[in-house]
Amino acid sequence: MNNELQEKIDDLQDLGSTNKTLIYKERQSNDELHEARKVLIQGLPELFGNRTNIGLKRMGELDPKTFHDTCKSRFPPDEAEIQATTLCSSW
């Protein structure tokens, strides 16, 4: 029984060191991504010039105006707002 306990303790220590290594690698990768992002942001004005507008949108973000416009054409005016909000929130 003591041998099994010692094996489990050794396994736990091995897992702990593996976990520390993975955390270190994750932080290192995260730092590299942040540095690449900074370089990209600094390089964009040189690439496009001062008069270029770049719109950013979050991935997966929906445009509620599209839902409102569509619902206005399909439902009565008093119900269109409610339907648009319901549909947009369910997506």
* pLDDT for 14: 92
Token readout for 14 is 């091995």
Note the pLDDT of residue 61: 74
DSSP classification of residue 89:
H
Cα separation, 31 vs 38, in Å, equals: 11
pLDDT in tens, the chain (91 residues): 888 999 999 999 999 999 999 999 999 999 999 999 998 888 777 776 666 666 666 676 777 888 888 888 888 888 888 888 888 887 7
**3-state SS, one letter per residue, for 46-77:** HHHCCCCCCCCCCCCCCCHHHHHHHHHHHCCH
Reading the block at residue 54, the tokens are 């770049």
User: If you count them, how many residues does the chain have?
Assistant: 91
